[in-house]
Structure 1
Amino acid sequence: MTPPAAPASRASVVKRLARLAFLALALGFGAWVVVRQWDEIRDGFARLSWTSVALSLVTVVAALCGGMMTWRALLADLGSPLPLRAGARVFFVGQLGKYIPGSLWPVIAQMEMGRELGVPRSRSAAAFFLTLPVQLGSGLLVAGVTLSATLPGSVAPYAWAFLLVPVLATAFQPRVVNAVLGFGLRRLGREPLERPLTRRGVLTALGWALAGWTAYGLHLAAIVTDLDPRVSTGSAGSPGSAGWSALSVAAFCVGAFALSWCLGIMTFVVPAGAGVREVAMVAVLAPVLEGGPAIAVALCSRIVIIAGDLLCAGLAGLAARRAAGSRKDHASGKAV
Structure 2
Amino acid sequence: MSSPSTFDRFTGSPAIRRLIRWCITLLVVGLVLWFAGGTVRQGWQQLSTSDIDISWPWVALSAGLYIVGLAPMAFYWRLALGSLGERPPLLAVVRGYYLGHLGKYVPGKAMVAVLRTGALVQSGCRPRSTVVSVFLETLSFMATGGMLAALLLVASGDAPAQYAWLSAGLALLVGLPITPPIARKLAGRVLAKQQAEGDQPTSSLLAGITWRLTAAGVACSTIAWTLLGLSLWAAVRSVGTTGAGPFAQLALWIEAVTLPVVAGFLSLIPGGAFVRDFLQVELLAPALPEGTSALLAAGLWRLISVSSEGAICGILEASRLCRRQRPTSDDTT
**Matched residues in 2 for 1:72 and 1:155: separation?**
38
Once the two structures are superposed, the pairs formed by residues 158-307 of structure 1 within 5 Å of their partners are 158=163, 159-171=165-177, 173-185=179-191, 189-191=193-195, 192=202, 195-196=205-206, 197-229=209-241, 231-232=242-243, 244=244, 246-268=246-268, 270-289=269-288, 293-307=293-307
Alpha-carbon offset, residue 108 of structure 1: 1.8
Q: 2:103 aligned with 1:93, yes or no? A: no
TM-score (norm 1): 0.83
| Structure 2: stretches of 5+ with no match in the other structure | 1-11, 196-201
Once the two structures are superposed, the pairs formed by residues 1-336 of structure 1 within 5 Å of their partners are 7-43=13-49, 47-149=53-155, 151-154=156-159, 156-158=161-163, 159-171=165-177, 173-185=179-191, 189-191=193-195, 192=202, 195-196=205-206, 197-229=209-241, 231-232=242-243, 244=244, 246-268=246-268, 270-289=269-288, 293-326=293-326, 329-330=328-329, 332=331
- Say which is worse superposed, 313-322 or 51-60, in terms of deviation: 313-322
Deviations 1:186-213 (A, max 9, x none): 5xx4434751213333333332222211
Question: For the Cα contact (< 8 Å) 2:145–2:171, is it kept in 1?
Answer: no
Question: For the Cα contact (< 8 Å) 1:40–1:299, is it kept in 2?
Answer: yes
TM-score (norm 2): 0.84
| Structure 1: stretches of 5+ with no match in the other structure | 1-5, 233-243
Amino acid at match of 1:198: T
Q: Is the alpha carbon distance of 1:305 and 1:312 closer, same or farther for their aligned partners in structure 2, counting shifts above 3 Å?
A: same
1:47 match: secondary structure = coil
**Matched residues in 1 for 2:329 and 2:211: separation?**
39
Deviations 1:245-272 (A, max 9, x none): 541223310121111111111111x222
Amino acid at match of 1:323: R
Q: Which residue of 2 aligns with 1:238?
A: none
Question: For the Cα contact (< 8 Å) 1:101–1:271, is it kept in 2?
Answer: yes
1:247 match: secondary structure = coil
**Count of residue pairs brought into register by the alignment:** 314
**Matched residues in 1 for 2:263 and 2:50: separation?**
23
Question: For the Cα contact (< 8 Å) 1:27–1:99, is it kept in 2?
Answer: no
Q: Is the alpha carbon distance of 1:50 and 1:228 closer, same or farther for their aligned partners in structure 2, counting shifts above 3 Å?
A: closer
Q: Percent identity?
A: 23
RMSD: 2.8
Question: For the Cα contact (< 8 Å) 1:144–1:155, is it kept in 2?
Answer: no
